[in-house]
Amino acid sequence: MKIDRNKLYKFLFAIGLLYFCFIILDVPKIEPQWEGYPDVIDYKAQSKESLTSLNFYATKPKENVWFFPRPFTVPLFFKMASSDSYNMVMLQKTTYCICVISLLIAILNFISHFWVKIIAQCGLLFFFTWWNIVGWSDLPISESLSISLLFFWFSTILFYYKKQSVLNIIFLVISSILLSFTRDTWPYIILLFFLLNIFISIFLSIGSIKKNVSLFVFSICLFFAQSYTANVGQRHWMPMFNSIAGRVAQHDDYLAWFKNEGMPEADTLKTDFGEIKDLELDGRVLISKRYCDSTYTNLFLWIMKDGKNKYQKFLLTHPYYFFLQDLSSESVRGNLFSYNLPYYKGSEGFFVNADHVFPVFNVWFYLVFFLLLLFLFFKTKEIVYAFLASVFILCVVNALITYNADALEIKRHLFITTIILEFISISTLILLADYISNLVIKKPLKTL
Protein backbone atom coordinates (compact mmCIF):
# COMPACT_ATOMS: atom_id res chain seq x y z
CA MET A 1 0.00 0.00 0.00
CA LYS A 2 1.38 3.33 -1.06
CA ILE A 3 1.18 6.26 1.30
CA ASP A 4 0.76 9.79 0.06
CA ARG A 5 3.97 11.41 1.18
CA ASN A 6 2.58 14.95 1.25
CA LYS A 7 -0.42 14.02 3.39
CA LEU A 8 1.78 12.05 5.78
CA TYR A 9 4.22 14.94 6.06
CA LYS A 10 1.44 17.48 6.73
CA PHE A 11 -0.02 15.19 9.39
CA LEU A 12 3.32 14.71 11.14
CA PHE A 13 4.05 18.42 10.83
CA ALA A 14 0.74 19.36 12.44
CA ILE A 15 1.25 16.86 15.28
CA GLY A 16 4.76 18.19 15.90
CA LEU A 17 3.62 21.81 16.04
CA LEU A 18 0.70 21.04 18.35
CA TYR A 19 2.96 19.16 20.75
CA PHE A 20 5.53 21.97 20.65
CA CYS A 21 2.89 24.62 21.43
CA PHE A 22 1.48 22.47 24.23
CA ILE A 23 4.94 22.21 25.84
CA ILE A 24 5.55 25.97 25.62
CA LEU A 25 2.08 27.16 26.65
CA ASP A 26 1.23 24.59 29.33
CA VAL A 27 2.33 26.64 32.34
CA PRO A 28 0.68 27.17 35.73
CA LYS A 29 -0.51 30.61 36.71
CA ILE A 30 2.43 31.81 38.77
CA GLU A 31 3.59 35.22 39.87
CA PRO A 32 6.00 36.48 37.17
CA GLN A 33 9.58 36.93 38.30
CA TRP A 34 11.43 40.25 38.27
CA GLU A 35 8.14 42.13 38.82
CA GLY A 36 10.02 44.93 40.57
CA TYR A 37 12.87 45.04 38.05
CA PRO A 38 13.44 48.63 36.79
CA ASP A 39 12.95 47.57 33.15
CA VAL A 40 9.49 46.18 33.93
CA ILE A 41 8.46 49.34 35.78
CA ASP A 42 9.55 51.44 32.79
CA TYR A 43 7.74 49.22 30.26
CA LYS A 44 4.49 49.39 32.24
CA ALA A 45 4.69 53.17 32.64
CA GLN A 46 5.35 53.68 28.93
CA SER A 47 2.61 51.22 27.93
CA LYS A 48 0.02 53.52 29.49
CA GLU A 49 0.72 56.24 26.93
CA SER A 50 -1.78 56.53 24.08
CA LEU A 51 -0.93 54.78 20.81
CA THR A 52 -1.93 57.97 19.00
CA SER A 53 0.60 60.00 20.96
CA LEU A 54 4.11 60.56 19.61
CA ASN A 55 5.28 60.24 23.21
CA PHE A 56 4.56 56.50 23.08
CA TYR A 57 7.05 56.00 20.24
CA ALA A 58 9.53 58.73 21.17
CA THR A 59 9.09 58.84 24.92
CA LYS A 60 10.72 61.65 26.88
CA PRO A 61 12.20 61.33 30.38
CA LYS A 62 9.94 62.51 33.20
CA GLU A 63 10.97 65.29 35.50
CA ASN A 64 11.60 64.39 39.14
CA VAL A 65 10.63 60.75 38.44
CA TRP A 66 13.02 57.83 37.95
CA PHE A 67 11.94 56.66 34.51
CA PHE A 68 14.14 55.40 31.69
CA PRO A 69 12.41 55.61 28.26
CA ARG A 70 12.50 52.43 26.14
CA PRO A 71 12.10 51.58 22.45
CA PHE A 72 8.38 51.09 21.83
CA THR A 73 8.01 47.39 20.90
CA VAL A 74 8.03 45.92 24.42
CA PRO A 75 5.72 48.65 25.81
CA LEU A 76 3.43 47.95 22.82
CA PHE A 77 3.17 44.29 23.82
CA PHE A 78 2.63 45.33 27.44
CA LYS A 79 -0.26 47.49 26.24
CA MET A 80 -1.69 44.47 24.42
CA ALA A 81 -1.35 42.59 27.73
CA SER A 82 -3.22 45.33 29.64
CA SER A 83 0.04 46.24 31.44
CA ASP A 84 -0.24 43.00 33.41
CA SER A 85 2.94 40.95 33.86
CA TYR A 86 1.27 37.53 33.81
CA ASN A 87 -0.64 38.43 30.64
CA MET A 88 2.67 39.65 29.22
CA VAL A 89 4.34 36.33 29.99
CA MET A 90 1.57 34.40 28.21
CA LEU A 91 1.69 36.83 25.28
CA GLN A 92 5.46 36.30 25.04
CA LYS A 93 5.03 32.53 24.99
CA THR A 94 2.33 32.76 22.32
CA THR A 95 4.49 35.10 20.26
CA TYR A 96 7.40 32.71 20.63
CA CYS A 97 5.33 29.81 19.28
CA ILE A 98 4.13 31.86 16.29
CA CYS A 99 7.63 33.10 15.43
CA VAL A 100 9.22 29.64 15.75
CA ILE A 101 6.53 28.07 13.55
CA SER A 102 7.04 30.82 10.97
CA LEU A 103 10.81 30.24 10.92
CA LEU A 104 10.40 26.47 10.74
CA ILE A 105 8.06 26.72 7.74
CA ALA A 106 10.46 29.14 6.04
CA ILE A 107 13.44 26.82 6.50
CA LEU A 108 11.51 23.73 5.37
CA ASN A 109 10.62 25.54 2.13
CA PHE A 110 14.28 25.17 1.12
CA ILE A 111 14.41 21.41 1.82
CA SER A 112 13.25 18.99 -0.85
CA HIS A 113 13.55 15.47 0.57
CA PHE A 114 10.88 13.93 2.76
CA TRP A 115 13.10 12.33 5.40
CA VAL A 116 15.33 15.40 5.64
CA LYS A 117 12.22 17.50 6.22
CA ILE A 118 11.08 15.17 9.00
CA ILE A 119 14.51 15.22 10.66
CA ALA A 120 14.69 19.01 10.28
CA GLN A 121 11.28 19.49 11.85
CA CYS A 122 12.03 17.25 14.83
CA GLY A 123 15.56 18.59 15.34
CA LEU A 124 14.64 22.26 15.15
CA LEU A 125 11.52 21.95 17.30
CA PHE A 126 13.58 20.16 19.93
CA PHE A 127 16.21 22.92 19.72
CA PHE A 128 13.52 25.56 20.27
CA THR A 129 12.55 23.89 23.57
CA TRP A 130 15.99 24.74 24.96
CA TRP A 131 15.39 26.61 28.21
CA ASN A 132 18.19 29.01 27.31
CA ILE A 133 15.67 30.41 24.80
CA VAL A 134 12.28 29.58 26.29
CA GLY A 135 13.13 30.54 29.88
CA TRP A 136 13.24 34.25 29.12
CA SER A 137 9.53 34.18 28.30
CA ASP A 138 8.89 33.78 32.05
CA LEU A 139 10.31 37.27 32.57
CA PRO A 140 8.41 40.37 31.38
CA ILE A 141 11.53 42.02 29.94
CA SER A 142 12.85 42.55 26.40
CA GLU A 143 14.91 39.37 25.96
CA SER A 144 12.05 37.05 25.01
CA LEU A 145 10.49 39.37 22.43
CA SER A 146 13.91 40.24 21.07
CA ILE A 147 14.76 36.61 20.26
CA SER A 148 11.21 35.76 19.09
CA LEU A 149 11.02 38.72 16.73
CA LEU A 150 14.51 37.93 15.47
CA PHE A 151 13.25 34.46 14.49
CA PHE A 152 10.24 36.07 12.81
CA TRP A 153 12.53 38.50 10.97
CA PHE A 154 14.59 35.56 9.71
CA SER A 155 11.43 33.87 8.46
CA THR A 156 10.18 36.95 6.61
CA ILE A 157 13.58 37.27 4.91
CA LEU A 158 13.40 33.65 3.74
CA PHE A 159 9.81 34.09 2.52
CA TYR A 160 10.95 37.20 0.66
CA TYR A 161 13.74 35.20 -0.97
CA LYS A 162 11.20 32.61 -2.11
CA LYS A 163 8.90 35.23 -3.60
CA GLN A 164 9.33 39.01 -3.69
CA SER A 165 5.60 39.65 -3.47
CA VAL A 166 4.07 42.80 -2.03
CA LEU A 167 2.70 40.82 0.92
CA ASN A 168 6.10 39.33 1.77
CA ILE A 169 7.72 42.76 1.54
CA ILE A 170 5.08 44.19 3.90
CA PHE A 171 5.73 41.41 6.42
CA LEU A 172 9.49 41.96 6.11
CA VAL A 173 9.10 45.70 6.75
CA ILE A 174 6.80 45.13 9.75
CA SER A 175 9.09 42.49 11.28
CA SER A 176 12.09 44.80 10.80
CA ILE A 177 10.34 47.65 12.61
CA LEU A 178 9.18 45.50 15.52
CA LEU A 179 12.59 43.87 15.92
CA SER A 180 14.45 47.16 15.62
CA PHE A 181 12.46 48.79 18.40
CA THR A 182 13.05 46.03 20.92
CA ARG A 183 16.64 47.25 21.41
CA ASP A 184 18.73 50.15 20.17
CA THR A 185 21.45 47.88 18.77
CA TRP A 186 19.23 46.10 16.23
CA PRO A 187 19.01 49.00 13.70
CA TYR A 188 22.73 48.56 12.96
CA ILE A 189 22.18 44.87 12.21
CA ILE A 190 19.11 45.46 10.04
CA LEU A 191 20.94 48.14 8.09
CA LEU A 192 23.94 45.88 7.53
CA PHE A 193 21.77 42.97 6.41
CA PHE A 194 19.90 44.97 3.75
CA LEU A 195 23.25 46.24 2.48
CA LEU A 196 24.56 42.66 2.23
CA ASN A 197 21.29 41.70 0.58
CA ILE A 198 21.98 44.04 -2.33
CA PHE A 199 25.37 42.43 -3.02
CA ILE A 200 23.91 38.91 -2.71
CA SER A 201 21.09 39.65 -5.15
CA ILE A 202 23.52 41.22 -7.65
CA PHE A 203 25.89 38.25 -7.39
CA LEU A 204 23.07 35.76 -7.95
CA SER A 205 21.29 37.95 -10.52
CA ILE A 206 17.94 37.23 -8.89
CA GLY A 207 15.04 39.34 -7.72
CA SER A 208 14.39 42.98 -8.30
CA ILE A 209 17.34 45.26 -7.62
CA LYS A 210 14.88 48.13 -7.16
CA LYS A 211 13.09 46.26 -4.36
CA ASN A 212 16.38 45.40 -2.65
CA VAL A 213 17.66 48.97 -2.89
CA SER A 214 14.29 50.22 -1.61
CA LEU A 215 14.59 47.92 1.41
CA PHE A 216 18.08 49.27 2.06
CA VAL A 217 16.74 52.84 1.90
CA PHE A 218 13.98 51.78 4.28
CA SER A 219 16.60 50.41 6.72
CA ILE A 220 18.44 53.74 6.60
CA CYS A 221 15.21 55.59 7.41
CA LEU A 222 14.51 53.12 10.21
CA PHE A 223 18.00 53.64 11.60
CA PHE A 224 17.63 57.43 11.76
CA ALA A 225 14.05 57.20 13.07
CA GLN A 226 15.21 55.04 15.97
CA SER A 227 18.21 57.29 16.56
CA TYR A 228 15.80 60.20 16.80
CA THR A 229 13.63 58.45 19.40
CA ALA A 230 16.75 57.43 21.33
CA ASN A 231 17.94 61.05 21.41
CA VAL A 232 14.52 62.29 22.50
CA GLY A 233 14.42 59.70 25.26
CA GLN A 234 18.09 60.19 26.17
CA ARG A 235 18.40 56.40 26.02
CA HIS A 236 22.14 56.38 25.40
CA TRP A 237 23.35 58.11 28.56
CA MET A 238 23.02 55.13 30.92
CA PRO A 239 24.73 52.46 28.74
CA MET A 240 27.43 54.96 27.80
CA PHE A 241 28.07 55.81 31.44
CA ASN A 242 28.28 52.06 32.13
CA SER A 243 30.92 51.69 29.42
CA ILE A 244 32.95 54.70 30.51
CA ALA A 245 32.89 53.66 34.17
CA GLY A 246 33.20 49.93 33.51
CA ARG A 247 35.87 49.86 30.78
CA VAL A 248 37.27 53.27 29.88
CA ALA A 249 38.06 54.20 33.49
CA GLN A 250 40.32 51.16 33.77
CA HIS A 251 42.86 52.70 31.35
CA ASP A 252 44.59 56.04 31.84
CA ASP A 253 45.20 56.57 28.11
CA TYR A 254 41.50 56.05 27.31
CA LEU A 255 40.48 58.52 30.03
CA ALA A 256 43.05 61.02 28.75
CA TRP A 257 41.54 60.76 25.25
CA PHE A 258 38.03 61.51 26.53
CA LYS A 259 39.36 64.30 28.74
CA ASN A 260 40.95 65.92 25.69
CA GLU A 261 37.57 65.64 23.95
CA GLY A 262 35.95 67.69 26.71
CA MET A 263 34.63 64.98 29.05
CA PRO A 264 34.36 66.24 32.65
CA GLU A 265 35.00 64.25 35.86
CA ALA A 266 37.76 62.09 34.35
CA ASP A 267 39.79 62.08 37.58
CA THR A 268 36.71 61.24 39.65
CA LEU A 269 35.93 58.34 37.33
CA LYS A 270 39.45 57.02 37.81
CA THR A 271 39.13 57.24 41.60
CA ASP A 272 35.67 55.65 41.78
CA PHE A 273 35.92 52.96 39.11
CA GLY A 274 39.56 52.52 38.17
CA GLU A 275 40.01 49.40 40.31
CA ILE A 276 36.86 47.46 39.30
CA LYS A 277 37.79 43.84 38.63
CA ASP A 278 34.44 42.09 38.20
CA LEU A 279 31.75 44.00 36.31
CA GLU A 280 29.18 41.23 36.73
CA LEU A 281 29.22 41.46 40.53
CA ASP A 282 30.69 44.40 42.42
CA GLY A 283 31.01 46.58 39.29
CA ARG A 284 27.31 46.43 38.46
CA VAL A 285 26.26 47.48 41.96
CA LEU A 286 28.91 50.19 42.26
CA ILE A 287 28.12 51.79 38.90
CA SER A 288 24.33 51.64 39.17
CA LYS A 289 24.47 53.44 42.53
CA ARG A 290 25.93 56.48 40.77
CA TYR A 291 23.07 57.02 38.29
CA CYS A 292 21.52 59.64 40.59
CA ASP A 293 24.79 60.92 42.07
CA SER A 294 25.05 64.70 41.71
CA THR A 295 28.84 64.28 41.53
CA TYR A 296 28.40 63.19 37.92
CA THR A 297 25.78 65.73 36.85
CA ASN A 298 28.18 67.51 34.49
CA LEU A 299 29.30 64.18 33.03
CA PHE A 300 25.70 63.13 32.39
CA LEU A 301 24.99 66.45 30.69
CA TRP A 302 28.08 66.02 28.52
CA ILE A 303 27.03 62.47 27.58
CA MET A 304 23.57 63.65 26.52
CA LYS A 305 25.00 66.55 24.49
CA ASP A 306 28.27 65.33 22.95
CA GLY A 307 29.00 61.95 24.47
CA LYS A 308 27.41 59.67 21.84
CA ASN A 309 29.35 61.21 18.94
CA LYS A 310 32.57 61.26 20.96
CA TYR A 311 32.17 57.61 21.95
CA GLN A 312 31.56 56.59 18.33
CA LYS A 313 34.69 58.52 17.34
CA PHE A 314 36.58 56.71 20.10
CA LEU A 315 35.46 53.31 18.82
CA LEU A 316 36.52 54.15 15.26
CA THR A 317 39.95 55.39 16.35
CA HIS A 318 40.61 52.65 18.92
CA PRO A 319 40.21 49.26 17.19
CA TYR A 320 42.08 47.62 20.07
CA TYR A 321 39.18 48.62 22.31
CA PHE A 322 36.43 47.93 19.75
CA PHE A 323 37.67 44.37 19.14
CA LEU A 324 37.79 43.76 22.91
CA GLN A 325 41.56 43.34 23.07
CA ASP A 326 41.70 45.37 26.29
CA LEU A 327 39.82 42.56 28.05
CA SER A 328 41.03 39.12 29.05
CA SER A 329 40.30 36.43 26.44
CA GLU A 330 38.74 34.27 29.15
CA SER A 331 36.16 36.89 30.14
CA VAL A 332 35.40 37.72 26.51
CA ARG A 333 34.75 34.06 25.64
CA GLY A 334 32.64 33.61 28.76
CA ASN A 335 30.52 36.63 27.90
CA LEU A 336 30.24 36.10 24.14
CA PHE A 337 29.21 32.45 24.43
CA SER A 338 27.09 32.68 27.57
CA TYR A 339 24.06 30.44 28.02
CA ASN A 340 21.74 29.09 30.73
CA LEU A 341 22.25 32.17 32.87
CA PRO A 342 21.26 31.73 36.53
CA TYR A 343 19.12 34.88 36.59
CA TYR A 344 15.81 33.07 36.22
CA LYS A 345 14.09 29.86 37.27
CA GLY A 346 15.95 26.77 36.10
CA SER A 347 14.55 24.39 33.52
CA GLU A 348 12.14 21.68 34.53
CA GLY A 349 9.90 19.05 32.95
CA PHE A 350 10.41 18.48 29.23
CA PHE A 351 12.83 21.42 28.97
CA VAL A 352 15.50 19.50 30.89
CA ASN A 353 15.97 17.26 27.85
CA ALA A 354 17.24 20.04 25.58
CA ASP A 355 19.40 21.40 28.41
CA HIS A 356 21.29 18.10 28.40
CA VAL A 357 22.02 18.46 24.68
CA PHE A 358 22.68 22.11 23.84
CA PRO A 359 24.96 23.73 23.06
CA VAL A 360 26.31 20.98 20.81
CA PHE A 361 29.12 22.84 19.06
CA ASN A 362 31.99 25.19 19.94
CA VAL A 363 33.64 28.16 18.24
CA TRP A 364 35.76 25.98 15.93
CA PHE A 365 32.68 24.16 14.68
CA TYR A 366 30.96 27.50 14.11
CA LEU A 367 33.85 28.65 11.92
CA VAL A 368 33.86 25.37 9.98
CA PHE A 369 30.12 25.65 9.34
CA PHE A 370 30.57 29.24 8.15
CA LEU A 371 33.23 28.16 5.66
CA LEU A 372 31.04 25.25 4.56
CA LEU A 373 28.16 27.68 3.93
CA LEU A 374 30.42 29.84 1.77
CA PHE A 375 31.56 26.76 -0.18
CA LEU A 376 27.99 25.56 -0.78
CA PHE A 377 26.89 29.06 -1.74
CA PHE A 378 29.55 29.54 -4.40
CA LYS A 379 29.04 25.98 -5.67
CA THR A 380 25.25 25.91 -5.85
CA LYS A 381 24.33 29.63 -5.99
CA GLU A 382 21.46 28.83 -3.60
CA ILE A 383 20.42 31.91 -1.64
CA VAL A 384 19.62 30.01 1.58
CA TYR A 385 23.35 29.37 2.08
CA ALA A 386 24.05 33.07 1.60
CA PHE A 387 21.35 33.88 4.12
CA LEU A 388 22.85 31.67 6.85
CA ALA A 389 26.36 32.97 6.10
CA SER A 390 25.00 36.52 6.37
CA VAL A 391 23.38 35.68 9.71
CA PHE A 392 26.77 34.44 10.94
CA ILE A 393 28.35 37.78 9.98
CA LEU A 394 25.48 39.70 11.57
CA CYS A 395 25.88 37.65 14.74
CA VAL A 396 29.56 38.58 15.03
CA VAL A 397 28.87 42.26 14.35
CA ASN A 398 25.98 42.28 16.84
CA ALA A 399 28.22 40.77 19.52
CA LEU A 400 30.84 43.51 19.00
CA ILE A 401 28.28 46.33 18.90
CA THR A 402 26.44 45.06 21.98
CA TYR A 403 29.66 44.45 23.93
CA ASN A 404 30.81 48.02 23.23
CA ALA A 405 27.38 49.60 23.73
CA ASP A 406 27.02 48.70 27.40
CA ALA A 407 29.68 47.29 29.72
CA LEU A 408 27.15 45.95 32.25
CA GLU A 409 25.13 42.72 32.07
CA ILE A 410 27.02 41.60 28.99
CA LYS A 411 25.96 37.98 29.43
CA ARG A 412 22.28 38.89 29.55
CA HIS A 413 22.67 41.03 26.45
CA LEU A 414 24.66 38.41 24.54
CA PHE A 415 23.06 35.08 25.48
CA ILE A 416 21.51 35.31 22.01
CA THR A 417 24.91 34.73 20.36
CA THR A 418 25.15 31.04 21.22
CA ILE A 419 21.53 30.52 20.21
CA ILE A 420 22.07 32.01 16.75
CA LEU A 421 25.30 30.10 16.16
CA GLU A 422 23.68 26.81 17.21
CA PHE A 423 20.73 27.55 14.92
CA ILE A 424 23.10 28.24 12.01
CA SER A 425 25.03 25.03 12.72
CA ILE A 426 21.93 22.82 12.93
CA SER A 427 20.43 24.40 9.80
CA THR A 428 23.70 23.95 7.92
CA LEU A 429 23.80 20.23 8.75
CA ILE A 430 20.18 19.86 7.64
CA LEU A 431 20.78 21.67 4.35
CA LEU A 432 23.96 19.66 3.80
CA ALA A 433 21.98 16.44 4.25
CA ASP A 434 19.46 17.68 1.71
CA TYR A 435 22.24 18.66 -0.69
CA ILE A 436 23.83 15.21 -0.46
CA SER A 437 20.41 13.59 -0.89
CA ASN A 438 19.96 15.57 -4.10
CA LEU A 439 23.27 14.20 -5.36
CA VAL A 440 22.46 10.60 -4.47
CA ILE A 441 18.74 10.69 -5.27
CA LYS A 442 18.28 12.86 -8.32
CA LYS A 443 14.55 13.10 -7.83
CA PRO A 444 12.79 13.28 -4.44
CA LEU A 445 10.54 10.30 -3.71
CA LYS A 446 6.82 11.00 -4.11
CA THR A 447 5.56 8.09 -2.07
CA LEU A 448 6.69 5.77 0.70
386's enclosing H/E stretch is: helix 383-405
How confident is the model at residue 30, as a pLDDT? Answer: 67
What is the CA angle 85-87-91, rounded to 5? 115
How confident is the model at residue 438, as a pLDDT? Answer: 83
Burial-class residue 444 by CB neighbours within 10 Å (0-12, 13-18, 19+): middle
3-state DSSP helix/strand/coil % of the chain, to nearest 5? 70, 0, 30
Asked if 407 and 248 count as a contact pair (C-beta separation under 8 A), the reply is no
Burial-class residue 118 by CB neighbours within 10 Å (0-12, 13-18, 19+): middle
How confident is the model at residue 6, as a pLDDT? Answer: 77
Residues present in the chain in total: 448
Which amino acid type is present at position 137? S
Sign of the alpha-carbon dihedral angle for 47, 53, 56, 59? negative
Between CA 47 and CA 57 the distance in angstroms is 10
What is the CA angle 367-372-377, rounded to 5? 130
| Average pLDDT of adjacent 10-residue blocks, the chain of 448 residues | 72 90 82 75 91 92 79 96 91 96 95 91 95 90 95 97 94 98 96 94 82 95 96 91 90 93 90 79 78 87 90 93 89 88 71 90 95 94 94 96 90 93 97 90 49
User: Which residue(s) pair with 4 in the sheet?
Assistant: 447
Between CA 90 and CA 24 the distance in angstroms is 10
How confident is the model at residue 446, as a pLDDT? Answer: 45
